[in-house]
Amino acid sequence: MKHITSREDVELLVKSFYNKVIQDDMIGFFFTDIAKIDLSHHLPKMYDFWESILLGNPVYEGNPMRVHFPINEVSALEEKHFNRWLQIWEETVHDNFIGDKAETAITRALNIARIMNFKMTNVRNIE
């Protein structure tokens, strides 16, 4: 086990996570059937996102929240889905890394899941 110290480490983490999450019985369909993500296009964005967070390199440009609203309109993103996403993320982090940045990855994912759940729920309640 090693610490997250480089872009390559971030790529390993993100790639490992997506290998698991797209096959998950509970939430995989969000990625494969609804968003229909093209991993060759999506993963580099996620590498940039997590590199910005974990390594402090300002390489990510975009609004991660905005792209989830259309998915939420097709199939509600609920707390149970965010909890499952977080569980897979945490397992993936712990399977591959140790240290402060690994724990930061988990904490930041928890915060992201809470904010996204709140916003997705509120937009459904307004409609």
Report the chain's terminal Cα–Cα distance, integer Å: 47
Contact 96, 17 (CB under 8 A): no
Domains of the chain: 7-126 (1.10.490.10)
Alpha carbon distance 36, 115 (integer Å): 23
pLDDT grade for 127, boundaries at 50, 70 and 90: low
The 3-state DSSP class for residue 97 equals strand
Q: Tell me what pLDDT residue 71 has.
A: 94
Alpha carbon distance 67, 56 (integer Å): 23
Question: Does the structure show a pLDDT above 80 at 75?
Answer: yes
Question: pLDDT of 38-66, one tens digit each?
Answer: 999 999 999 999 999 999 999 999 898 89
Question: pLDDT of 12-42, one tens digit each?
Answer: 999 999 999 999 999 999 999 999 999 999 9
